[in-house]
Every structure is written in C-alpha cells, then in structure tokens.
C-alpha cells in the first residue's frame, strides 16, 4: 500500500469513510520514516508507540461514529519549534536540550482537536535562524531531491519529511522566509498567513512558555497539495480567549475564481536583487499560461525601493532577534556600530543597529513599516495576486561556514551575498 500519492485531506476522508484505518496509515508513515530518515535526517524526535495507541483509539472512535474532525486519525510530523506534550523542543539549542514540553502549542492543540496524530518532530537550524537546517544537537538535514543540497530553513526538516514521503502534512513558521524558502527548495506548497490570525503561542523561540509573540513571526501550514494547505489553515486560524470571546476572524473569499477575472501583477526580478534567469523565466511562463486563459497581466513596480524596504525589514528583524542576546553580545554589536560609516547598510551593520535599537527609534522604523504596508495595500487595489520569486536561486548546496554574513550564492554565474 502506498499513501504518498494521497493528500492528507484524502487520507482523512478515507479513514472517516472506513476505506482505511488510522492504524494502517500511521504504521505506513512510521515505516517511511524508519526507511528514509537515516539518510535525510529530517525527523529528530518520535513518539511512534504512543502514535499507534492514538491510532487504535481513533479507529475505535470511528467505529462508534465519533469523528474528531477532517484529520481524524491522520498521522503527521511537526516542526520542532512547536511544543508537543512529552517531547523535547530544543530548536538545536544546547541550553534547551532535554526540556520536555508539558503543554501543546496552540497549533498542535487545534490539529489534534481535528483528529491529527503527531508522529514526531522535524529538524530546524539553531533557534530557527538560517535558510539551512543543521545544528549541533541533531546534525544536518538533507534535501531529498539532492542530498548535497539543503532543504532550506528554518522549516527544513518539515519540507524534507514531506518531500521524502515521511509525512502527509506539516506545520511551520516564518519570520524571514522559514516557510517560503523550504517550500521553494523542496518543490512544495507553503502559506505564510497574515500576522496574528493563527496564534503562535507555544512556538520556540522566543522561549518555552512565552506569552509575548514577535511582531514579525507567523506560523502556517506546509504540504504537497493546495487542498491540505487550505484545510490546515482553516483548522488553525482564529483568535484565542479572551479576544475570541468578544470577536472572531471572518476571512473573505478570493476576488477572482476564474482566470478571466484575475489581475496578475508580475514582478519577476529587481535590480536590487537579481534572480536566476531560469526562475525569472518560469515565473513569466506561469503568468503567460494564465494569460492565455484570460487573465490580465500587469507588470508592476511598487511605489518603494526594494533596497529601503529590505533595510526597514532588517532593522525590525534584528530588533526582534536581539531580544535574547546577552550583554556581552550587545557590547560586541555596539562596537560594530561605532566603527561603521553612517551609510553602511551591510548585513553585519544592520544586524548590530537593529539589535541595539531604543524603543523610540524602533517606533520610527515601525512607522516606516506601516507606510510601506499602506503602499502594498494600494498596490493590491490594482492586482489580485503577485507572481514573484521566493529566492534568487533553487536550493543551495550545504554551506555551514561559521560567518553567516560571508556566505555566498551563485546567481547567473556571479557570486553574491
């Protein structure tokens, strides 16, 4: 029996309809992990025996007509950054090793309430802070399409497990591409939702048990099928109490459902960030195919500089990342600032300036973010969707150079940051 060509949505339907048992599905994906994980190293913690017990209980409940939800009895893995009761949640950090979670993250709670069974957890980079997925505790995760290349990060273990057929569904998080990059690198679908509409509580970082979420990081689904992305999103979206006792999120449907009604903004490359010519061509080809079915193509140039847009993001990102830095690290960052020229916008300088922002200066950068958001909103009055690259290149070869800022990629034969 192979379940790899079925979506998680289909597996759930077959279990509910009695065409498949949860025990069969769970045993299948456990076997897939045991077969493929030694080479790929995506799954770094498991609860196989407990999962089989959960599967037996799901089958018994189904026989009684007691269906938890559309994922009833569906096994899945989940990114290590989400707390799962009884498992570690260390995100590759030695100081978090051996801490056993006593509660489930909100996302895990909602997936379980819909019937999902957690098989285990998937690898991340240290503190979820890299476009690759490796760390001192769990080693390197490899891209199933080419083991010499990374599956991306920080949800790299998630997408590697999906692409290798070790799980039918995953859930990730994204502050700087951590859903989008691995989905792109592994040929999958991922969704980075609007900030705050899926509760991040129970996600590490920042720390275990934290209640104050980042103002940039979001959590969202990963899958092999669009239907699974939509299902997992619908199951996890929604406010928490006490806010949910006063109001609920009501999402609107799409403005266009047929190609002839669709306005596509095409932004295939930018002078500030050159894109591999094959990726640029593929984006244009995809847009052209929809245009042949009646869609309207609109070449766009947003009313802002991508360079400045990136600088604003980097300042706010590093203000968030600096939350957990020690005083000695802050002293080193201040030394970088003191030695830099005023117009230096290199990564090390932006990292230092962002991490050392006062709250008053953070508010100024936040205001500029909101001005940019207003320009995006105006742009989306002209188009329904934007076709643009996720990354300048396909999946990069493993590069674990100690100096993150010094790493290079090759774009159209030229080396660049």
pLDDT of 59:
98
Kindly give the pairing relationship between strand 385-387 and strand 263-266.
Answer: parallel
Judge whether 170 and 159 are in contact, CB under 8 Å: yes
Q: What is the rounded distance in angstroms from the CA atom of residue 398 to the CA atom of residue 306? A: 28
Measured between alpha carbons, how far is 168 from 232 in angstroms, rounded to an integer?
A: 12
Express each pLDDT in 214-249 by its tens digit.
Answer: 899 999 999 999 999 999 999 999 999 999 999 999
Any domain includes 392: no
Do 129 and 224 share a structural domain?
yes
pLDDT tens track, the chain, 417 positions: 589 999 999 999 999 999 999 999 999 999 999 999 999 999 999 999 999 999 999 999 999 999 999 999 999 999 999 999 999 999 999 999 999 999 999 999 999 999 999 999 999 999 999 999 999 999 999 999 999 999 999 999 999 999 999 999 999 999 999 999 999 999 999 999 999 999 999 999 998 998 888 899 999 999 999 999 999 999 999 999 999 999 999 998 889 999 999 999 999 999 999 999 999 999 999 999 999 999 999 988 888 999 999 999 999 999 998 887 889 999 999 999 999 999 998 888 989 999 999 999 999 999 999 999 999 999 999 999 999 999 999 999 999 987 777 899 999 999 998
Instruction: Give phi and psi for 256, each to the nearest 5.
Output: -140, 135
Query: Which residue range forms the structural domain that includes residue 357?
Result: 306-381
CATH code for position 49: 3.90.1300.10
Residues 195, 342, single domain; the answer is no
Same-domain pairing of 207 and 314: no
328 and 234, same domain (yes or no): no
Please state, in angstroms and rounded to a whole number, the distance separating the CA atoms of residues 3 and 7: 8
Check whether residue 236 and residue 311 sit in a common domain: no
Number of Cα atoms under 13 Å in the Cβ half of residue 210: 15
Query: Which member of 7, 158, 173, 178 is catalytic?
Result: 178
The answer to whether residues 26 and 134 belong to one domain is yes
Residue 122 lies in a domain: yes
Which listed residue (79, 112, 121, 224) is catalytic?
79
Judge whether 239 and 200 are in contact, CB under 8 Å: no
Helices (H), 218-342: 226-236, 243-246, 277-291, 306-321, 327-339
CB atoms within 10 A of CB 9: 22
Are residue 206 and residue 319 in the same domain, yes or no? no
| Domain's final residue, options 246, 266, 281 | 246
User: Looking at 22, 133, 154, 391, which residue is catalytic?
Assistant: 154
Same domain, 116 and 32: yes
Tell me, yes or no, if 154 is annotated catalytic.
yes
Give catalytic status of residue 178 as yes or no: yes
Could you tell me which residues are beta bridge partners of residue 411? 414
Q: Would you call 408 a catalytic residue per the annotation?
A: no
Domain C-terminal end among 205, 225, 246: 246
Kindly state whether residue 103 falls inside one of the protein's structural domains.
Answer: yes
- In DSSP terms, 203 is beta-bridged to 82
Residues 81 and 210 in one domain: yes
Predicted confidence at residue 406, as pLDDT, reads 86
Q: 141 and 157 in contact (C-beta within 8 Å)?
A: yes
The answer as to whether 291 is a domain residue is no
**Residue 50 maps to a domain:** yes
Q: How does pLDDT run across 289-327, given as a tens digit for each residue?
A: 999 999 999 988 888 999 999 999 999 999 998 887 889
Q: Report d(CA 309, CA 52) in Å as an integer.
A: 48
Does any domain span residue 200? Answer: yes
In this structure, the answer to whether residues 240 and 328 fall within a common structural domain is no
Whether residue 165 is found in the same domain as residue 69: yes
Residue at 400 is within a domain? no
Q: Inter-axis angle of helices 48-63 and 22-40, to 10 degrees? A: 160
The reply to whether 222 falls in a domain is yes
- Single out the residue in 225, 246, 267 at which a domain terminates: 246
Beta-carbon count within 10 A of 329 CB:
13
The Cα-based distances of 129 to 14, 84, 160, 238, 316 in angstroms read 38, 21, 17, 27, 15
Number of domains in the chain: 2
Q: Pick from 213, 168, 157: which is nearest to 42 by CA? A: 157
Residue 90: CB atoms within 10 A of its CB come to: 25
């Amino acid at each position: 029996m192979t379940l790899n060509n079925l979506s998680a949505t289909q597996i759930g339907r077959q279990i509910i309809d009695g065409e498949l048992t949860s025990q069969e599905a769970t045993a299948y994906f456990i076997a897939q992990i045991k077969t493929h994980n030694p080479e790929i190293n995506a799954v770094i913690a498991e609860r196989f025996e407990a999962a089989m017990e959960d599967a037996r209980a799901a089958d018994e409940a189904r026989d009684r007509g007691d269906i938890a939800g559309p994922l009833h009895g569906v096994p899945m893995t989940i990114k290590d950054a989400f707390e799962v009761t009884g498992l570690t949640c260390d995100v590759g950090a030695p100081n978090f090793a051996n801490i056993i979670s006593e509660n489930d993250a909100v996302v895990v709670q909602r997936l379980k309430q819909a019937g999902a069974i957690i098989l285990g957890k998937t690898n991340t980079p240290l503190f979820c802070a890299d476009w690759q997925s490796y760390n001192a505790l769990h080693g390197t995760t490899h891209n199933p399409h080419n083991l010499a290349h990374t599956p991306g990060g920080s949800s790299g273990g998630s997408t590697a497990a999906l692409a290798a057929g070790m799980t039918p569904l995953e859930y990730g998080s994204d502050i700087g591409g951590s859903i989008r990059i691995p989905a792109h690198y592994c040929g999958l679908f991922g969704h980075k939702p609007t900030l705050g509409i899926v509760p991040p509580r129970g996600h590490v970082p920042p720390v275990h048990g934290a209640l104050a979420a980042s103002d940039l990081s979001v959590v969202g689904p990963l899958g092999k099928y669009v239907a699974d992305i939509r299902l997992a999103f619908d199951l996890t979206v929604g406010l928490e109490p006490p806010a949910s006792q006063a109001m609920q999120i009501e999402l609107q449907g799409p403005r266009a459902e047929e190609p002839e009604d669709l306005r596509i903004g095409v932004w295939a490359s930018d002078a500030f960030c050159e894109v591999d010519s094959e990726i640029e061509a593929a984006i244009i080809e995809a847009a052209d195919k929809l245009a042949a079915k009646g869609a309207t193509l609109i070449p766009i140039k947003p009313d802002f500089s991508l360079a400045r847009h990136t600088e604003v993001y980097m300042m706010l990102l590093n203000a968030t990342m600096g939350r957990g830095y020690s005083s000695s690290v802050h002293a080193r960052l201040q030394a970088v600032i003191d030695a830099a020229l005023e117009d230096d916008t290199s990564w090390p300088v932006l990292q230092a300036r962002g991490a050392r922002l006062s709250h008053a200066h953070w508010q100024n950068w936040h205001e500029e973010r909101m001005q940019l958001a207003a320009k995006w909103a105006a742009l989306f009055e002209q188009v329904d969707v934007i076709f643009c690259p996720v990354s300048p290149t396909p999946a990069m070869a493993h590069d674990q150079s100690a100096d993150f800022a010094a790493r290079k990629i090759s774009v159209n034969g030229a080396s660049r940051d």
